[in-house]
Every structure is written in structure tokens, then in C-alpha cells.
Amino acid sequence: GKNNSRKYENLSLLLPEDIRLNIVQNPTPYLVIRHVMDFISSLTDRHALSLYRLIRG
């Protein structure tokens, strides 16, 4: 529903601006997944934990 859309929109704000721009320019499901996975794979353990804590609250 509407709350889920807002939740996912807010999560997208956690992505770096260059990745968000790439997703907007190429919004095909494959490229969206690829950009997000590239971002996740580049995270250090510390940064990944920090993002997890931010998301979980």
C-alpha cells in the first residue's frame, strides 16, 4: 500500500546520489537490482552494520 511505497522511497535515500541517478536514468528491473547489488557488495562490514542499524531503528 501507500505506506510501503513511502518506506521504499525512504530506503532509496540511503543509496549514494550517483546510484540513485543511475537508477532513475535506467529504471529497468535488471539494472536497478544490479546497481543496488553493486552498492551492497562495496560496503565495508562497519558501513553495512551502520546502515542496518539505521534501517532497523
Tens-digit pLDDT profile for residues 20-46: 999 999 999 999 999 999 999 999 999
Q: Which residue has the higher pLDDT, 17 or 11?
A: 17
In the prediction, which pLDDT does 3 show? 74
Tens-digit pLDDT profile for residues 13-23: 999 999 999 99
Query: Which helix (H) or strand (E) element contains residue 2?
Result: helix 2-12
Distances (CA, A) of 10 to 4, 13, 14, 15, 45: 10, 5, 7, 10, 22
The full set of domain ranges for the chain reads 2-56
Q: What is the DSSP string of 26-42?
A: S--HHHHHHHHHHHHHH
Q: Distance between the two ends of the chain, CA-based, in angstroms?
A: 21
